[in-house]
Amino acid sequence: MTLKEKYGGKALVAGASEGIGAAFAEYLASEGMDLILIARREGPLNRSGDDLEKRYGVNVKCIPCDLAEEDTQQALEKELAGMEIGIMVYNAAVSYIGPFMQDTPDNQTRAVQVNIAAPLRLVRHFGEKMLERRRGAIILMTSMAGLQGSGFLSLYAAGKAFSRVLAESLWYEWKSQGVDVIGCCAGATSTPGYTNSRPAKKNLFAPAVLRPDQLAAECFKRLGKQPSFITGRANRIASCFMHRIIPLKTAVNIMGDNIRKMYGIDDRMSR
Ligand X SMILES: NC(=O)c1ccc[n+]([C@@H]2O[C@H](COP(=O)([O-])OP(=O)(O)OC[C@H]3O[C@@H](n4cnc5c(N)ncnc54)[C@H](OP(=O)(O)O)[C@@H]3O)[C@@H](O)[C@H]2O)c1
Annotated catalytic residues are 156
**CB of residue 44 to ligand X, shortest distance in Å:** 6
Rule CB under 6 A: is residue 40 a binding residue for ligand X? yes
Rule CB under 6 A: is residue 191 a binding residue for ligand X? yes
**CB of residue 179 to ligand X, shortest distance in Å:** 21
Rule CB under 6 A: is residue 114 a binding residue for ligand X? yes
**What mask, x for binding ligand X by CB under 6 A, covers residues 12 to 31?**
---xxxxxxx----------
Q: Tell me whether residue 8 or residue 85 sits nearer to ligand X (CB atom).
A: 85
Q: Tell me whether residue 41 or residue 124 sits nearer to ligand X (CB atom).
A: 41
Rule CB under 6 A: is residue 219 a binding residue for ligand X? no
Q: How many residues bind ligand X (CB under 6 A)?
A: 29
**CB of residue 1 to ligand X, shortest distance in Å:** 27
Rule CB under 6 A: is residue 68 a binding residue for ligand X? yes
**What mask, x for binding ligand X by CB under 6 A, covers residues 139 to 168?**
--x-x-------------------------
Q: Are 123 and 169 in contact (CB under 8 A)?
A: no
The one among 58, 186, 238, 242 contacting ligand X by CB under 6 A: 186
- By beta carbon distance, the residue nearest ligand X is 19
Rule CB under 6 A: is residue 193 a binding residue for ligand X? yes
